[in-house]
Amino acid sequence: MMENKEDHLLNELKDHYSKLSIPDQMDQMINNGIMKAKKKQRLKRSTYVTTIAVSILMLLFVTSIRVSPVFASFVTNIPGLSKVVELINYDKGLQSAVDNGFIQVIGKSDEHEEITFTVDSVIIDESKLIVFYTITGIEEYNYISLSKVELLKSNGERYKVGTSYDHNINEVEDMVSNKIDFSFHGDTPEEFTLNVNISTSENADTEENLPYTWSVPFQVDKTLFENMKHIYDINQTVNIEDQLITFEKVTIYPTRSELSISFDENNSKKIFGFDDLRIVDQSKNEWSTNNGVSAVHISDHERLLYFDSNYFYEPDEMYIEFKSIRTLDKDKLELQVDLEQQKLIKAPDENITLEFINEKGGELEIGFRIKYDGLHQIRSEEISHEFHDSSATYSFRTSTSSILSNDNAKETVLLIPKREYSNPLTFSFWDYPARIYEDVQIKIK
Amino acid sequence: MEIEQLVKEAQKKNDDAFYELISIHKVQLYKIAYSYFNNEQDALEAIQEVTYRTYLKINKLKYPKYFNTWIIRILLNYCNDEIKRKKRMNKQQIEIKVHQNENEFINRLEIESLIENLEPKFQEIIKLKYIQDLTIPQISQILEFPEGTVKTWLNKSLKILRKELEREGEYYDGK
């Protein structure tokens, strides 16, 4: 058989690299690397204070160039807040809150083993608390991240909140600044204690939890945000191919807007979500749903959806708009896999296919490919982490997805525990790219 | 001494063991670095930097038997960051050397530039497979993707390369 051209070229390339000459300076470079590392270990302590001072100055300098005049003067008055601008620049509602001075300075910290965790400032209202923090004293680590976050009330009781923060491991310069979002409803205490754990690593494999809890108690001024919200009742029901969706009300807080909707229990389809959902004003300014938590499932047929806030802007007219819904017939919500024959025996449509089943370690890898209609992908996972066979229900933790950009498809690999299952396995869907297109606009005010 | 033994010694601050450990892997590391930067200077720089990072972190390696995958991953992180940085600084220099065999040289440039145009994850897989001769399980460990995914991506990369080569073929043969 004739060798393919790419095989031929790749083999030539391999050949080339196998003949690559190894320069004599190599050993010298290894020595240099060791010397440099030993020097760094010695110098660590003495350079510690100066590097932090310099980096704070740099940050102030860099950020003050590209922000609004209002904010720039605000920041120069309160040193250390400059990073806030960068962290919220995806959300124009929060930006305008900060422009209006809606931020409280805290400046409290805790230290263990030279690592200092500081709560710089917070943005808080009745719906949400955003904590801006800085970690310093971490020069010796390559990567750092928060491994656990807990918010306590003054009596030490755990405050029940939705928490979201960046799990990604940050590559460390001299300090890390980031934010933690807490979502809640009413009943906002004035005193909190924030507990965090920190992990360090070379890469995800060697991630190591430092054996301390950084604990920072802080107080907020409640009078600055009490009763700050606008409520608009809508009570309009939309009918899309006999599926009834009721838009109930919008509540606008300084940090975000909250839309309550409900689905009719007699709908024949399950609605996963809306595409291009946004709130717009009379001049087509829009507030999207891209911040943190974008939906809360109150029950099977009730949802809260979150948008950027326009509290400080107060448009004259407001509308809700979307272009399509993602939905499946309630009797097509199952995905069944036959492990022995390695094939799908039930699926909503032919856009999902089973690609492979492999054994790996003590687990089974099940690879699916989900085709999109070319419009856009779904950012979240499609397949739920709970599944059952004919005798029991199981769950699994890991699923990895990758977008195959060349052909509008996404590959998802589920890692499920390997054991004796009684065929077939049944999964359900958290979301699915089956759409009904309909441009909808609803007037809020 | 065995690798695992050397790692344990190096973790006890035995510099000779550490040196030995890097020496054993230096050729492999150099070739990977060279495949990223395409020049001797940057590849040597990478060796120094990876030695430095590895020295500072060796105590954090929990399983000495994974030293090889671990150090390759440190190298890949460095190479990727460095390539990004060079692109930002707009300093990427193309070094052209005189080659005895011009035909082979042109072939190599062609395939290398096609590989360079692949998505980063595909590039990595192709380089590890074809330049370093690593196996699918090894690649899957280094990149931390399931073997199935690595296989799929490898096939996909090859398919893209084939298509590109065919397209170029048409262009030249089409007259």
Q: Which of B67, B80, B66 is nearest to B35 (CA)?
A: B80
CB contact under 8 A, B51 and A29: yes
B56 near A CB under 8 A: yes
**Residue A410, CB half-sphere, CA atoms under 13 Å: how many?**
21
By the 8 A CB rule, do A244 and A269 touch?
A: no
Interval B141-159 mean pLDDT: 87
CB contact under 8 A, B152 and A33: no
Amino acid letter at A388?
H
Token pair of A426 as six digits: 């049944």
* Residues of chain A contacting residue B162, judged by C-beta atoms under 8 Å apart: 4-6
Residue that wins the pLDDT comparison between A373 and A58:
A373
Residue whose entry in the numeric block shows the structure tokens 């494999």: A205
Minimum distance, in Å, between the CA of residue B157 and any CA atom of chain A: 11
Residue A331 DSSP class: G
pLDDT, residue A300, reads 81
Residue A107 DSSP class: E
Minimum distance, in Å, between the CA of residue B161 and any CA atom of chain A: 7
* Residues of chain B contacting residue A12, judged by C-beta atoms under 8 Å apart: 104, 107-108, 111
Q: Which of A195, A121, A136 is nearest to A163 (CA)?
A: A195
Distance CA A387, CA A90 (A): 36
Lowest mean pLDDT among A85-94, A152-161, A270-279, B116-125: A85-94
Residue that wins the pLDDT comparison between A330 and A379:
A330
* Residues of chain B contacting residue A23, judged by C-beta atoms under 8 Å apart: 40, 44
- Among the partner-chain residues B52, B126, B156, the one whose CB lies closest to the CB of A37 is B52
Which SS3 state, helix, strand or coil, does residue A418 take?
coil
**What pairs with residue B69 in β-bridges?**
none
Which SS3 state, helix, strand or coil, does residue A270 take?
strand
CB contact under 8 A, A14 and B51: no
pLDDT, residue A354, reads 94
Interval A386-409 mean pLDDT: 77
pLDDT, residue A49, reads 37
CB contact under 8 A, A5 and B107: no
**pTM for the full predicted model:** 0.56
Token pair of A28 as six digits: 């010298």
By the 8 A CB rule, do A51 and A137 touch?
A: no
Peptide bond into A417 cis (omega under 30): no
Residue that wins the pLDDT comparison between B62 and A335:
A335
Q: Which of A272, A286, A423 is nearest to A357 (CA)?
A: A423
CB contact under 8 A, A33 and B48: yes
* Residues of chain A contacting residue B170, judged by C-beta atoms under 8 Å apart: none
Strand ranges of the sheet holding A409-417, from the earlier edge strand across to the other edge: A352-360, A363-371, A409-417, A398-404
By the 8 A CB rule, do B43 and B37 touch?
A: yes
CB contact under 8 A, A33 and B52: yes
What residue spans of A19-136 are helical by DSSP H?
A: 26-65, 69-77, 82-87, 92-99
pLDDT tens digits, residue range A28-68?
889 888 888 877 766 443 333 333 333 333 333 333 333 44
By the 8 A CB rule, do A344 and A352 touch?
A: yes
Residue A277 DSSP class: -
* Residues of chain B contacting residue A9, judged by C-beta atoms under 8 Å apart: 107-108, 110-111, 165
Greatest mean pLDDT among A230-234, A372-376, A430-434, B7-11: A230-234
pLDDT tens digits, residue range B71-126?
998 998 888 888 877 776 654 444 444 444 556 666 677 777 788 788 888 888 88
Distance CA A287, CA B27 (A): 55
Reported ipTM: 0.77
**Backbone torsions φ then ψ of A203, nearest 5 degrees:** -165, 180
